[in-house]
Amino acid sequence: MVASVEEAVEAAKKIGFPVLVRPSYVLGGRAMVIAYDEDTIMQYMKQAVEYSQDRPVLIDKFLEDAIEVDVDALSDGEDVVIGGIMQHIEEAGIHSGDSSCVLPAVDIPETLLNRMREYTFKLARALKVIGLMNVQFAIPRRSCGDGAQPRPGGSETRLHTGDGDAKVYVLEVNPRASRTVPFVSKATGVPMAKIAARLMTGRKLREFLPENVERGTDLDTGRCFYVKSPVFPWSKFPGVDTVLGPEMRSTGEVMGIADNFGEAFAKAQIAAGQKLPTKGTVFISVTDHDKPAMVEVAHRFVDMGFKLVATHGTADILEGSGLGVERVYKVKEGRPNAVDLIKADRIQLIVNTPHGPDPYFDEKAIRRAAVTGRITTITTLSAARAAAEGIAALQRGEVRVQALQALHAERIAAK
Domain that holds residue 39: 5-61
Q: Is residue 400 part of a domain?
A: no
Q: What CATH code is carried by the domain that includes residue 285?
A: 3.40.50.1380
Averaged pLDDT, 339-350: 93
Quick one: pLDDT at residue 399?
A: 80
Half-sphere exposure of 221 (CA within 13 A, CB side): 25
Q: Check whether 358 has a pLDDT greater than 50.
A: no
Q: Is residue 314 part of a domain?
A: yes
**CA separation for the pair 268, 165 (Å, rounded):** 34
Residue 386, strand partner residues? none
**CA separation for the pair 80, 353 (Å, rounded):** 39
Quick one: pLDDT at residue 97?
A: 85
What is the residue type of 266?
A
| Residue among 233, 281, 238, 280 at smallest CA distance from 369 | 238
Q: Check whether 157 has a pLDDT greater than 50.
A: no
Q: Check whether 199 has a pLDDT greater than 90.
A: yes
Q: Is residue 401 part of a domain?
A: no
On whether both 70 and 57 belong to a single domain, the answer is no
pTM of the model: 0.82
On whether both 70 and 33 belong to a single domain, the answer is no
**CA separation for the pair 407, 384 (Å, rounded):** 29
Q: Is residue 15 part of a domain?
A: yes
- 217-243 pLDDT tens trace: 999 998 899 999 999 887 787 667 777
Per DSSP, 192 falls in state H
On whether both 53 and 37 belong to a single domain, the answer is yes
On whether both 156 and 205 belong to a single domain, the answer is yes
| Ranges 2-16, 37-51, 140-154, 197-211: which has the least confidence | 140-154
Quick one: pLDDT at residue 158?
A: 46
Quick one: pLDDT at residue 20?
A: 85
- 97-144 pLDDT tens trace: 888 899 999 889 999 999 999 999 999 999 999 999 999 999 987 544
